[in-house]
Amino acid sequence: MRKGVLAIVALAGAVGVATPAYAADQTISATDALAFTPADVQIDVGDTVTWTFANPNMPHNVAAKATSPTAWTTGDEGSYSVNNPDVVHTFGAEGTYTFFCEVHPQMEGTVTVGDPPVDPPPDDPPPDDDPPSSPPPTHPTTPAPTPGADTVKPKVRSVKLKALRRAVRVRFRLSEPATVTVRVKRGRKVLKAKRVQAAAGTHSVTVRSKKLKQGRYTVEVLARDAFGNRSKPATKRLSVRR
C-alpha cells in the first residue's frame, strides 16, 4: 500500500530492529492464549496496522473500545469467527486508539499514532546535609567526564531515511550511549534539528518541519558521549519531489 505525500530518494552517503514503537507498519496476531501479540504498538501517521487471525482455534475479532481516547472503528465490530479474515486499518491522524476482542474482552491493546509523549523530568531531590565531595554525573547513562578516561569516539552507522508528511524519520545505529543531534539542512541552512539521549543500539527519530517541501536536503546525524568525544557526522541526502 502506498502512503504519504513525500517521495524520498536515499543516495549513498557517509554512513537499522527498529524498535517496535516506531515500526512503519505493524501486524498484531490474535492467539489462543487469549491475547493480542504484540498488544501495544506505535506507528506514524499514514502507517497501517493489520490484525491477523490465521492461527487461533477460537473465534476472535478486533473492535474499537467505546472508551478509546480517540474515536474510531475497525470495521470488524460484530463480526467474528475461527480464522477470521485479516483486518487492516490505516491511521490518518495522531492519537491513542484502544481495541479489544468482543468474544474475549480481556484481549485488548493500544495503537499509538505519532511521537510518544515525553515524560517530564523528575523533581530534584532535597539537598543533603553534607554536600557530595564530587559533582554528580552530567550524562544520564554514563559516568561524569574524567580527563583521559575515555577517548573512544561514538560511531553512527546504518542511517536510513523515510519520508513522512512534512517530516522525515531517521533510523540509525549507535555504538555507545550518547547525545544524538539530527539536523535537516538545505544547503548550509539548518531547517530543523532534534536532540535526543540514546543508549547503544538502533533508534528512530522523527524530525518534523513545515519547511520540508520540494527540493534537495541533507540529513546529518552527530553523536557526542559524556566525555565530550564526537562522532564523525553521518550524512545522507534527501530529494523531496512533491
**Quick one: residue 175, left, alpha or beta (phi over 0 = left, psi -120 to 50 = alpha)?**
alpha
Report how far residue 35's alpha carbon sits from residue 101's, in angstroms, rounded to the nearest whole number.
Answer: 9
Could you name the CATH architecture of 20-113? Sandwich (2.60)
Report how far residue 210's alpha carbon sits from residue 38's, in angstroms, rounded to the nearest whole number.
Answer: 33
- Residues whose CB falls within 8 Å of the CB of residue 123, separated by 6 or more in sequence, listed in order: none
Are the beta carbons of 24 and 44 closer than 8 angstroms?
yes
Domain ranges of the chain: 20-113, 140-240
Task: List pLDDT tens digits, range 107-145.
Answer: 999 999 986 544 555 666 655 554 555 554 454 554 445
Which of 10-14, 106-110, 130-134, 238-242 ranks highest by mean pLDDT? 106-110
The reported pLDDT for the residue numbered 186 is 83
For 3-19, what is the mean pLDDT?
36
Report how far residue 49's alpha carbon sits from residue 27's, in angstroms, rounded to the nearest whole number.
Answer: 6
Domains 20-113 and 140-240 share a fold: yes
pTM for this prediction = 0.43
Report how far residue 161's alpha carbon sits from residue 184's, in angstroms, rounded to the nearest whole number.
Answer: 11
- Residues whose CB falls within 8 Å of the CB of residue 230, separated by 6 or more in sequence, listed in order: 153, 154, 222, 223, 224
Instruction: Kindly report the CATH number that applies to the domain delimited by 140-240.
Output: 2.60.40.2550
Report how far residue 77's alpha carbon sits from residue 6's, in angstroms, rounded to the nearest whole number.
Answer: 33
Peptide bond into 38 cis (omega under 30): yes
SS3 21: helix
CA distance to 73, 154, 230, 232, per residue, from 226 (Å): 47, 10, 10, 16
